[in-house]
Amino acid sequence: MLIRISLILAVIAALAVGAVNFFVVKDKINALTADRNTNRDNWHSTQAQLAQTNAVLVKTQSTLKQTQQDLADTQSQRDKAVADAAAQTKRADGLADQLAKTTKERDDAQNELASYKATGVTPEQIGKLTHTIKDLQDAMVALNEEKAVLSKARDRLQARLDKYEGNNPDILLPAGLKGKILVVDPKWDFVVLNIGDDQGVKPDSELLVSRDGKLVAKVIVRSLEKDRCIANVVPGWKLGEPIEGDEVSPAHPAS
């Protein structure tokens, strides 16, 4: 009997403990469920905020990219504007210089016109005078050239006359006259020089041949051309053999 009572008491105690545990576990389950629901709601809220943040970020990136493009376009437009301004400034400076030059030319022309008007001479008369002056200038140039030719011819005739009359004065040549030997003929003792009538060489004039500052020979001109001449080596004056490239200078330079 006692055992049966003990078993009943044990069962009742177990039921009581089970009931107590049930209520305790139920509270914990309810708390865990509430925490889960809270965490789930928080997660959904966080996901929504994250999606919203990403959308804002994408929009911000797009705005930044557009802003950078606008900035690049603005800088390009600024650089173009600066270049255009520099070009316009340079053009303005050029126009200012051209205007100043044109103004000066206009003023000079007006002054010349005033001078012409003051003379009382008509433009037709001025044109005729201009042509007359040019003709006179051309005639003067021609006369000077003819004078030079006649002077050279006179010198040649005087040299021939002196030769025929036995009067052989020294023939003077320009003091600064310099030349070189182009060709040498040792068999006939003559040389060809690179100076002639245009440089002031005269027929039968004498020149000294030198090399490295030393006298080599003396030659006398026998044939004269415009820019060259042929000269024979003077007997007794051949101190060495003339060669091409030797320098020649007047034996009797004019003072």
pTM: predicted TM-score of the whole model, two decimal places? 0.40
Transcribe 26-83 into DSSP letters.
HHHHHHHHHHHHHHHHHHHHHHHHHHHHHHHHHHHHHHHHHHHHHHHHHHHHHHHHHH
Q: pLDDT (tens digit, 9 = 90+) per residue, 48-71? A: 788 888 887 888 888 888 878 878
The torsion of the CA quartet 94, 95, 96, 101, rounded to 10 degrees, works out to 90
Among the listed residues 187, 179, 196, the one whose alpha carbon sits nearest the alpha carbon of residue 230: 196
**pLDDT, tens digit (0-9, with 9 covering 90-100), for 73-131:** 878 877 777 777 777 778 877 777 888 888 888 877 777 777 766 766 666 766 777 77
Residue with tokens 């007359």: 132
- Higher-scoring residue by pLDDT: 209, 132: 209
